[in-house]
Structure formats: C-alpha cells, structure tokens
C-alpha cells in the first residue's frame, strides 16, 4: 500500500507580475507530496542540504508525509530562480543551482520498498530507473520528465519509459519526445514507447488523457487570480496519483476522476506563492471545486433532434 | 423566424504544411451559412463581384441558403491569402484585397427584415449597426469582430456592442478589447460593455462561455489530421447560431448544447480545404461527433468520498 515519490525538494525564488518570493519552499516532490497527502500516505524520497530548516520538515511531517527517505547531507539545498510574464504560461528560468542534488543517488529505506504506487518526478531518467529497481512490486508507476532529459538523455529516458504505466508531461515535451506536432499522433507514438496512458498537461488549457481507445479532456479551472503557476504540474500529478493510490482503482472511469482531482489541486496551488494555499486548504474546498468542474463541463446529451 | 448573417464572401488562397489551395470559396458569411444550414434556413447578406462563378451560387442555393441579400456588383470579389505554420494556430495574412467589399453598404431585402436571429460576422462595426437597424424585431443578436476594428474603430465597436446579446471572439481579441490579460476578468469587462454572453474561442483549446453567474468550457475535438483551420471560427459560430435559431431556446442549457454543435461543425471544417468537408458532411456524422464530445468530457460525480 501507499504512494512513493522521488524528486526534488528545493528553495524557489519566483517573480510574477503580482509579486515575488525569495527562497521559499518548493521542488517537484514537495508539491507532489503535499497535494497527494490530501488523499493518502506519501513517502518522499529526495535530498536536502544543511541549510534546510526544521520549520519545513515539521510542516511536511504535520502532513503525515513519511520523510524516512529524505536524506540530509552536507552542502546547500537545490535552488531554482524563475520569472513569469503576464501570460503566466511558462517560467523563464533565471538560475538553477543543483547543489546537493548533483550527487544524489536515491536510496529507499526498507520501509518504503513495499510501496505499490510510485511517482518518478522530473529527475535524471537513470535515477528514475534506480528508484524503480528498489521498489519490490509496484502496481502502478507514473513519471514526469522535461526537455532537458528528452534532448540530453534520450536513450536513457526511452529505457525508463518501458517500465512506466503513465507518463505525465506537458504539450511541448510530448511534441519533442515524439517528434510529432499533432498531439493525437504524438500520444500514439509515446504509447508505443511504453506508457499505455499518456497525460498531456496544457497549463491554462487543462489536460488531455490518451489511453486505450479513449481520449479525455479536462479543462483548467478558470481563475480570476492566478498568482504563481510554480508547482502546478506537480500538484496536478500529486492530486491525480494521490486519488489513485487511495482508491487503488486504475480503471478508465476512476482515472478520469483522478485527473479532475489533479486539476482541482493544481487550481488551488496557483492561487498563492509556494505551498501557501495548500497550508490552509480544506477537504470540503477540494470537494466543492470538484463539483464546480462538473458544472464547468456539463452539457446535455442529444435528445431526438 | 430564421437566421440572418452579414459578412464576407471571398476567394481564399491558403497554404498549410499539408498542401495549398488557390482562389477557393471562402469568407466568414460563407462558412457561417453553410454550417448553420445544417440546422435551419439562413439568409446571407454580402457582396460579390462579377468574377464570382455560378457554380458557387448553385452550391449555396443547393443548401437552401437565401441569396436575395447577396449583391452582385461590377468589380472583383474580396480576396484573402494566408499561410499557416505547423502549429496551425494562427494564420499569417499575406494579402487582403477588399475589392467590391470596400464600398459595401448592406441593404436588406424586405423578405429578410423579419429574421429574428442575427449574426454580424467580422466586418466594420458601423456596417454591423446599419444591418441591425434594418432588422425589424431581432430576438437574438450575436457578433464577431477582430483586432483591426478593436484597434482602429474602438468607439464605433463599443456602440455596436451595446446592441448585441452575444459576442463571439478569440482569446487575443478578448484581451485586447478588455485591456485585461486574465480571461475571467476580461469577460467580465466585456459583459459590462453590452453583450451579456461572451464566448471566447481558443482554437485548438476549445471555447469558454461566460454568462450570468456561469462559465462553461467546451474542448476542441482532438483531431489526428487538421488540414486547414481557415473558417473554423465562422463554422463554430454557424453551428452555434444555427442550433439556437432552430430551437429558439436561448436558456443556459441550450446555449451549452449550441456551443457543442458549434465545436462539432468547426471540427469537421478543418479536415479539408475551403468548404470541401461540409460538402459531403451528413447529419448522422454531426450527431455522432456530438456524442463523442460527451465521451471526451464526461467524468463521474463525487460519491461520498
């Protein structure tokens, strides 16, 4: 039972048209864990430096996130600095300091090896595979990746994809990985690489699911105030995988519900910097927004026109 | 009863990554009429030159489109030349020859003045208003516009918008008209200008409806082969208005169905150059794709989680 994620825990410095935040808690595994933690227990596998404050550890523990796989080593924590324009679609990375992440070789504590649902956040595909080898009997494996690995580590990434059930990537990455502009064809090619389910994230335009004989389209929630898109993709993945790990039902109907829960978590996350919105988010708000997604997309079937 | 459209009838020359077409039948009112013609009778108000062939007239008549408002004057028909890149999102206009359109002052034949549903396609907002003055008792008025009028004829456009129930524009135009980046806020500002219903077209990302207290999101149909996006927006408007004119029910539920019919017609139109796909399109294919839109967007409600 349970959900395991490997990825980054980081300090982010973010500037948006609406404000800025300096050295705040961030990282793919952080957003993922906290989002997934609304649904199920999560084991977080990552590395931080000596500068990582007790305060953040205590926050993660308060969410019942298992930190036995979070290494603390000499050196500085991974740092990312980015900026968004008014369109808020894509971050411009201003600086990346890998720091302790550079020498990271994930080691799963014995207690984490029995996890049945695994999310490999966006890290080196070689490390993604090393983590997977340490999991005893995974029932569902999903992963993320990015242009950096698609361009620089293509053959390693293709090896990893063979072992993956669900790939969650954005539209530009899907096009780059498949070398195909049309998303329907792109998803077909990626499915032939291994993952039988492909979820294409399109930022403010929502997400598309491609699976056996079906396509599902989930919108993004139309927000009046998008404050900071950092972590939206990882929050989506966290809500999605958290719901699947909670229900352990990987059938097509439940996958659709999971995608909506992912979209719900992403929509809350962008309402504030860092994980600030998640810190005060309540379960009834999650359910209420799920229902709003229904209202947003519902239309009647054809009567006998 | 019946639907009236004023707009352009044109010859288009289009180049896409998949081929090209020279001087083929196009124009906003043409795409609109043929799409709407699958649902109801349409009166087309526009102008063509002496070079407009009988063959096209016969095609439009075969669709039972009322051409009593289609003027034929000395000179050449409106011509547009454009090109699309691989993303197929936006046309690059290479040439526009207004020709007979330059001196066009729409005059409604007596038989058209009783039309109850009116669509003002993308033409000078002054002309849009002149048409409206000639309609006796319109029950529903919708219009389109473009950046050219938003920038160059803003005050005239604002006058027209006061008389309009539904504005159908694309996302870039909505942002430009409202001077607001966020679409939810942009729609709010536009609704304060007159049209109580705003439909924002987002190309391959679908459409968003903003009306009193509600937002509805319709996806675009994920096609494996998008051949030529020319006329997609006008086909959308045609399917949408055609269904509303057929049913004469402008309530929120029916508006949503109409948006899906609009999306269905747009999705067929982009499968071939010019109106070629519409020429062989059957009613059962329209119904079938409507049902596919349901499958594409459907997810279950929350049980007691």
Tens-level pLDDT at each residue, chain B (305 residues): 799 999 999 999 999 988 999 999 999 999 999 999 999 999 999 999 999 999 999 999 999 899 999 999 999 999 999 999 877 777 899 999 999 999 999 999 999 999 999 999 999 999 999 999 999 999 999 999 999 999 999 999 999 999 999 999 999 999 999 999 999 999 999 999 999 999 999 999 999 999 999 999 999 999 998 899 999 999 999 999 999 999 999 999 999 999 999 999 999 999 999 999 999 999 999 999 999 999 999 999 997 55
Q: Angle A277-B183-B153 (CA atoms, 0-180°, nearest 5)? A: 155
Query: Which residues constitute the domain of residue B280?
Result: 3-297
Q: Does residue A304 fall inside a structural domain? A: no
CA distance A255 to chain B (A): 9
Partners of B96 in the beta sheet? B80
A181 with B86: Cβ contact below 8 A: yes
Q: Residue B289's closest chain A neighbor by CA?
A: A302
Number of domains in chain A: 1
Residue B59, chain A, CB below 8 Å: the answer is no
Residue A248, chain B, CB below 8 Å: the answer is no
Tokens of B150: 């938003």
The whole-number pLDDT of residue A304 equals: 54
Residue B296, chain A, CB below 8 Å: the answer is yes
Residue A103, chain B, CB below 8 Å: the answer is no
Residue B139, chain A, CB below 8 Å: the answer is no
Residues in A closer than 8 angstroms to B211, CB to CB, are none
Tokens of B159: 């006058």
pLDDT at A91 over 90: no
Query: Per-residue b/e over B238-251, b at no fewer than 16 CB within 10 Å?
Result: bbbbbbbbbeeeee
A302 with B296: Cβ contact below 8 A: no
CA distance A266 to chain B (A): 17
The Cα A150–Cα A178 span in angstroms is: 10
- ipTM strictly over 0.85? yes
Q: Does residue B141 fall inside a structural domain? A: yes
The Cα B51–Cα B17 span in angstroms is: 29
B87 with A181: Cβ contact below 8 A: yes
Beta strands per DSSP E along A127-190: 140-143, 166-170
Q: Residue A39's closest chain B neighbor by CA?
A: B305
Let me know: does A38 contact A281? Beta carbons within 8 Å. Answer: yes
Residues in A closer than 8 angstroms to B227, CB to CB, are none
The Cα A38–Cα B75 span in angstroms is: 68
User: Which of B215, B216, B224 has the CB atom closest to A184's CB atom?
Assistant: B224
The whole-number pLDDT of residue B304 equals: 54
Q: What is the CATH number of the domain that holds A183?
A: 3.40.1190.20
Computed over every residue of chain A, the mean pLDDT equals: 95
Q: Does residue A242 fall inside a structural domain? A: yes
The whole-number pLDDT of residue A89 equals: 73
Q: Could you please report the per-residue DSSP string of chain B? A: --EEEE---EEEEEEETTEEEEEEEE-HHHHHHHHHTTTS-EEEEEEE-TT--HHHHHHHHHTTEE-TTEEE-SSPPPEEEEE--TT-SSPEEEEEE-GGGGG------GGGTT-SEEEE-SS-HHHHHHHHHHSSS-SEEEE---HHHHHHSHHHHHHHHTT-SEEEEEHHHHHHHHT-SSHHHHHHHHHHHS-SEEEEE-GGG-EEEEETTEEEEEPPP--S-----TTHHHHHHHHHHHHHHHH---SHHHHHHHHHHHHHHHHHHTTSSTTHHHHH--HHHHHHHHHHHHHHH--PPP---
Backbone angles phi, psi at B150, to 5 degrees: -60, -40
Mutate to test the interface with B, among A208, A260, A299, A301 (most CBs of B within 10 A): A299
The whole-number pLDDT of residue A86 equals: 79
Instruction: State which H helix or E strand residue A235 sits in.
Output: helix A232-247
B216 with A299: Cβ contact below 8 A: yes
Residue B95, chain A, CB below 8 Å: the answer is no
Residue B17 Cα distances to A181, B225, B229, B233, angstroms = 11, 11, 12, 20
pLDDT band for position A27 (cuts 50, 70, 90): very high
User: Which of B185, B222, B291 has the CB atom closest to A215's CB atom?
Assistant: B222
Q: Does residue A74 fall inside a structural domain? A: yes
Number of H helices, E strands in chain A: 11, 14
Q: Does residue B173 fall inside a structural domain? A: yes
**Beta carbon pairs, A and B, within 8 Å:** 93
Model pTM score:
0.95
Tokens of A103: 């020498």
The Cα A93–Cα A84 span in angstroms is: 9
Residues in A closer than 8 angstroms to B203, CB to CB, are none
Q: Does residue A250 fall inside a structural domain? A: yes
Q: Does residue B186 fall inside a structural domain? A: yes
CA distance A184 to chain B (A): 5
CA distance A296 to chain B (A): 5
Closest by alpha carbon to B265, among B225, B285, B236, B289? Answer: B236
Q: Write the pLDDT tens digit of every residue in A178-202.
A: 999 999 999 999 999 999 999 999 9
The Cα B5–Cα B179 span in angstroms is: 28
User: Which of A87, A208, A296 has the CB atom closest to B181's CB atom?
Assistant: A87
Q: Does residue B136 fall inside a structural domain? A: yes
Query: Per-residue b/e over A77-97, b at no fewer than 16 CB within 10 Å?
Result: bbbbbbebeeebeebeeeeee
């Amino acid at each position: 039972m349970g959900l395991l994620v490997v990825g980054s825990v980081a300090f982010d410095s973010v500037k948006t048209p609406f404000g800025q935040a300096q050295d705040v808690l961030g990282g793919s595994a952080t957003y993922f864990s906290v989002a997934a933690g609304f649904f199920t227990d999560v084991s977080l596998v990552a590395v931080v430096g000596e500068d990582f404050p007790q305060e953040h550890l205590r926050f993660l523990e308060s969410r019942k996130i298992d930190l036995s796989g979070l290494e603390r080593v000499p050196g500085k924590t991974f740092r990312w600095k980015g900026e968004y324009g008014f369109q808020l679609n894509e971050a411009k990375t201003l600086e990346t300091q890998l720091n302790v992440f550079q020498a990271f070789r994930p080691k799963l504590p014995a207690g984490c090896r029995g996890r049945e649902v695994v999310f490999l956040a966006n890290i080196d595909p070689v490390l993604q595979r090393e983590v997977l080898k340490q999991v005893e009997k995974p029932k569902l494996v999903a992963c993320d990746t990015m242009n950096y690995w698609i361009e620089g580590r293509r053959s390693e990434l293709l090896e990893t994809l063979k072992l993956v059930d669900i790939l969650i990537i954005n539209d530009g990455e899907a096009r780059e990985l498949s070398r195909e502009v049309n998303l329907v064809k792109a998803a077909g090619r990626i499915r032939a690489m291994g993952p039988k389910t492909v979820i294409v994230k399109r930022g403010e335009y929502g997400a598309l699911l491609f699976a056996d004989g079906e396509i599902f389209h989930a919108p993004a929630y139309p927000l009046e105030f998008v404050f900071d898109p950092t972590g939206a993709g990882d929050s989506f993945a966290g809500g999605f995988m958290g719901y699947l790990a909670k229900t352990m039902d990987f059938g097509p109907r439940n996958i659709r519900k999971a995608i909506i829960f992912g979209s719900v978590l992403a929509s809350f996350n962008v309402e504030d910097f860092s994980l600030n919105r998640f810190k005060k988010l309540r379960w009834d708000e999650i359910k209420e927004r799920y229902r709003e997604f229904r209202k947003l997309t519902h239309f009647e079937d054809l009567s006998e026109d």
